[in-house]
């Protein structure tokens, strides 16, 4: 039996790493400018945290979690999303006390036991951005603007922002009833899943993908028309500010999102290049969550980006140079000076390699070429007699003699420019 990566997991091989570093460095650079600081929370938590935070009825909690019993009998779960764990840490360390306007982000692996497909893995990585303690629509708009800025900083050009409001505790129950009543009248025309959802979770009917159902959904009452005055004003101001900021969006009243904790603003960024998993980023407001998890009643807003999906949108990284100077000691007595020169160059910050196997000169030239070395420094019988190194510029195909006393400085200078 061959051992291979677990279903739904994958290796990120060295060739792909530059792409991932682009995503990670862009996050660090950009989020700092907006005042966010990184937070790192454990990859697993008590199961109860997710059951309470995400909603026991959601698919994630009811059938997609990696849950196991610890030896003392407590139930633990690999985190299926980041927000619950971050909220737990915020509460546990009373971060809101010292910083009533808290901006944090997290980056790391999440785990969901779903059937894998394009852009969906059982272990996947998310960048999660969370702002606590801000109630005003200005932070909603800022979060959306930040999300778009991040995608663009990563080099994503083709994207579509969709936006909706799902109301709050005051107006949502009313709308759900209006919706359910309307749905019951059309129930016989809808798919089996939807007929069931009319009673269990009518909002989910809205994003049903069955074409016939979508036609019906388009005729249903819309949430935006049933918002309470506060939610309506809030949403109106979010939209106004997005327009001020020049951010194009499309209203989509079917956007309800899968996690129970969202209120008011919800948004998602789609890309056509991801197959069926076309959502690359999603977020919104979750004002009750911190309170529900036992913390102070503070507002929350944020988003999560799927990094595997984001990586799919970027062009494959081209082969990068891995070496500045390649040393080629040809004579036996040339090895020691080459080892010393290699050590000194590396300490000076110059990427330096040689062929420890001591293969043919031609082979070493090929290696230097493949590694992308700009310079090859050759030390053979002839050079040793004359007290010089031959330094070859690979791109120009030119070479020159450099006295051995100057070789270190010469190579340092040539590679720093």
Q: Which of 171, 261, 183 is closest to 223 using CA atoms? A: 171
* Contact flag: residue 342 with RNA (CB under 7 A): no
Under rule CB under 7 A, residue 206 binds RNA: no
- Full DSSP string of 392-410: EETTTTEEEEEEGGGHHHH
Question: Hey, what are 282's tokens?
Answer: 């999603």
Q: Output 70 or 381, the one with its CB closest to RNA.
A: 381
Among 48, 230, 233, 381, binds RNA (CB under 7 A): 381
Cα 101 from chain centroid (whole Å) = 24
Per the CB < 8 A criterion, the answer to whether 231 and 165 are in contact is yes
Tokens 């702002």 locate to 131
Question: Does residue 314 interact with RNA by CB under 7 A?
Answer: no
**Could you give the CA distance from residue 53 to residue 288 in angstroms, rounded to a whole number?**
10
Indicate which single residue of 31, 308, 311, 407 sits in contact with RNA (rule: CB under 7 A). 308
Question: Could you say whether residue 397 binds RNA (CB under 7 A)?
Answer: yes
Residue 307's H or E segment, with its range, is helix 307-313
Q: Does 3 participate in binding RNA (rule CB under 7 A)?
A: no
Smallest gap from residue 322 Cβ to RNA (A)? 13
Instruction: Provide the angle, in degrees to the nearest 10, between the axes of the packed helices 172-186 and 192-200.
Output: 150
Residue 67 binds RNA, judged by CB under 7 A: no
- Cβ distance to RNA smaller for residue 225 or 369: 369
CB of 306 to RNA, least distance (A): 3
Considering only residues 73 to 132 of the shown chain, the ones binding RNA according to CB under 7 A are 81, 112, 114-121, 124, 126
Q: Cα(282)–Cα(267) distance, rounded to whole angstroms?
A: 6
By CB under 7 A, name the one of 259, 313, 341, 353 that touches RNA: 259
Whose Cβ is closer to RNA: residue 62's or residue 138's? Answer: 62
272 CB contacts (<8 Å, ≥6 apart)? Answer: 158, 278
CA distance 99 to 90: 10
Q: Is 395 in the site for RNA (CB under 7 A)?
A: yes
Rounded least distance, CB 71 to RNA, Å: 26
Among 19, 41, 58, 165, binds RNA (CB under 7 A): 58
> With contact defined as beta carbons under 8 Å apart, do 281 and 303 qualify?
yes
The least CB distance from residue 72 to RNA, in Å, is 28
Q: Does 282 bind RNA (CB under 7 A)?
A: yes
Size of the site for RNA (CB under 7 A): 70
Radius of gyration of the chain (CA): 29
CB of 94 to RNA, least distance (A): 27
By the rule CB under 7 A, 311 interacts with RNA? no
Stretch that binds RNA, among 36-44, 221-229, 270-278, 408-416 (CB under 7 A): 270-278
φ, ψ at 103 (rounded to 5°): -120, 120
Torsion angles phi and psi, residue 359, rounded to 5: -75, -175
Return the axis-axis angle of helices 229-244 and 137-153, rounded to nearest 10°.
Answer: 40
Q: Which residues ranging from 127 to 186 are in contact with RNA (CB under 7 A)?
A: none
Among 43, 248, 276, 333, binds RNA (CB under 7 A): 276
Q: How many Cβ atoms from other residues are within 10 Å of residue 25's Cβ?
A: 12
Query: Which residue ranges make up the site for RNA (CB under 7 A)?
Result: 4-8, 10, 58-60, 64, 81, 112, 114-121, 124, 126, 193, 197, 204, 207-210, 257-259, 268, 275-282, 304-306, 308-309, 330, 359-363, 365-370, 376, 378, 380-383, 390, 392, 394-395, 397, 399
């Amino acid at each position: 039996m061959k051992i291979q990566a677990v279903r739904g997991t994958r290796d990120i091989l060295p060739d792909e790493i530059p792409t991932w570093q682009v995503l990670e460095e862009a996050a660090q650079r950009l989020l700092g400018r907006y005042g966010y600081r990184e937070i790192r929370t454990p990859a697993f938590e008590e199961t109860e945290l997710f059951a309470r935070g995400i909603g026991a009825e959601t698919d994630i909690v009811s059938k997609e979690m990696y849950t196991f019993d610890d030896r003392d009998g407590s139930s633990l779960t690999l985190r299926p999303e980041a927000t619950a764990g971050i909220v737990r840490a915020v509460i546990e360390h009373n971060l809101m006390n010292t910083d009533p306007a808290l901006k944090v982000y997290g980056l790391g692996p999440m785990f969901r036991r779903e059937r894998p497909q394009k852009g969906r893995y059982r272990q996947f990585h998310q960048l999660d951005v969370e702002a606590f303690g801000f109630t005003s629509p200005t932070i909603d708009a800022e979060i959306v603007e930040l999300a778009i800025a991040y995608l663009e900083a990563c080099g994503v050009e083709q994207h579509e922002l969709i936006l909706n409001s799902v109301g709050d505790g005051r107006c949502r129950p009313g709308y759900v009833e209006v919706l359910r009543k309307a749905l019951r009248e059309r129930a016989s025309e809808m798919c089996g899943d939807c007929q069931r959802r009319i009673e269990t979770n009518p909002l989910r009917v809205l994003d049903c993908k069955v074409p016939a159902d979508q036609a019906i959904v388009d005729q249903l009452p819309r949430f935006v028309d049933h918002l309470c005055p506060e939610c309506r004003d809030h949403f109106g101001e979010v939209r106004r500010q997005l327009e001020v900021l020049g951010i194009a969006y499309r209203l989509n009243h079917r956007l309800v999102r899968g996690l129970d904790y969202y209120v008011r603003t919800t948004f998602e960024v789609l890309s056509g290049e991801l197959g069926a998993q076309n959502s690359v980023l999603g977020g919104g407001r979750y004002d009750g969550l911190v309170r529900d998890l036992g913390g102070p009643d503070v507002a929350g807003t944020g988003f999560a980006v799927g990094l595997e999906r984001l990586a799919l949108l970027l062009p494959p990284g081209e082969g990068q140079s891995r070496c500045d100077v390649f040393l080629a000691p040809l004579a036996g007595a040339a090895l020691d000076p080459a080892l010393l020169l290699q050590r000194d160059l590396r300490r000076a910050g110059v990427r330096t390699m040689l062929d420890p196997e001591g293969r043919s000169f031609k082979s070493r030239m090929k290696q230097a070429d493949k590694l992308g070395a700009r310079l090859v420094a050759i030390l053979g019988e002839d050079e040793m007699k004359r007290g010089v190194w031959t330094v070859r510029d690979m791109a120009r195909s030119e070479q020159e003699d450099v006295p051995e006393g100057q070789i270190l400085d010469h190579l340092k200078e040539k590679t720093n420019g």
